[in-house]
A = this chain, B = another copy of it.
């Protein structure tokens, strides 16, 4: 289970914090680190010092430019967030998240991303809207900003405890392969392609105006991210869009009957 968890840091300013995150991850048995657009060098004296022996995670870290790239193959994406947002999103405590992980990690292609934002400003709304759920670490309301490595420490600790509880339980029987196929989860990249297609279609049929978006696409994202579409369901949803496109296009290309 732990090997299916990826820690994603976005726009980190201080290399020392990346080192602290590497140490926290390795302490808890996590090994997959992705860095999105880190500000400054990753391998520095400070980051290696704070990693305190876990610097192999710094060297093996996948550095990329966008969140989409970092989580393209992920089937469950969770973003660390302060509590209040304009548009409420599924919100988990670290413990609730941890309790979901054994189920989330059961399938062959499962990959879970734990996404953490900038030291000063966290994740943007756009980044948060790419997540299936948000995780909020309960903090003192008067002093809520955790150090980045401390936030990763808490979430990784909960993941490890859930994993230990799973190990302690009786080994589970794998579900039948046809059942697995039926319920295969879709990747982040597939789902993002769907959202792009959905927005195009809604625009084409005059339901959506990208210049006056209001919160339409955010609400659609929240709905479908919450629903966790399976591969076969996403195929249907895309098929519906294609049929809708055709119905809308025929209007302008075919003579009236």
Q: Which of A's residues lie within 8 Å of B, judged by CB?
A: 20, 23-24, 26-29, 50, 52-54, 88, 93-95, 137-140, 143-147, 149-150, 153-154, 157, 160-161, 164, 179, 182-183, 202, 204-207, 216, 219-220, 222-224, 226-229, 232-233, 236-237, 239-240, 243-244, 246-248, 250-257
Q: Which of B27, B205, B251 contacts A243 (CB 8 A)?
A: B205
Q: Which of B27, B224, B252, B257 contacts A150 (CB 8 A)?
A: B27
A26 to B26 alpha-carbon distance, docked (Å): 25
A-B contact pairs, 22 of them (CB 8 A): A24-B147, A26-B143, A27-B143, A28-B140, A52-B147, A53-B143, A88-B182, A94-B157, A138-B160, A147-B149, A150-B150, A157-B157, A202-B240, A207-B240, A216-B236, A222-B233, A223-B233, A226-B227, A247-B248, A248-B248, A251-B251, A254-B256
Q: Which residues of B contact A227 (CB under 8 A)?
A: 223-224, 226-227
The residue in A229, A246, A251 that gathers the most chain B C-beta atoms within 10 A of its C-beta is A251
Q: Which residues of B contact A29 (CB under 8 A)?
A: 139-140
Chain B min CB distance to A134 (Å): 15
Contact across chains for A147 and B23 when beta carbons are under 8 A apart: yes
A257 to B256 alpha-carbon distance, docked (Å): 11
Chain B min CB distance to A178 (Å): 10
Q: Which residues of B contact A226 (CB under 8 A)?
A: 227-228
A226 to B, closest residue via Cβ:
B227
Contact across chains for B219 and A236 when beta carbons are under 8 A apart: yes
Chain B min CB distance to A235 (Å): 10
A225 to B, closest residue via Cβ:
B227
Q: Which residues of B contact A143 (CB under 8 A)?
A: 26-27, 53-54
Q: Which residues of B contact A250 (CB under 8 A)?
A: 251
A206 to B, closest residue via Cβ:
B243
Q: Which of B223, B243, B248, B257 contacts A202 (CB 8 A)?
A: B243
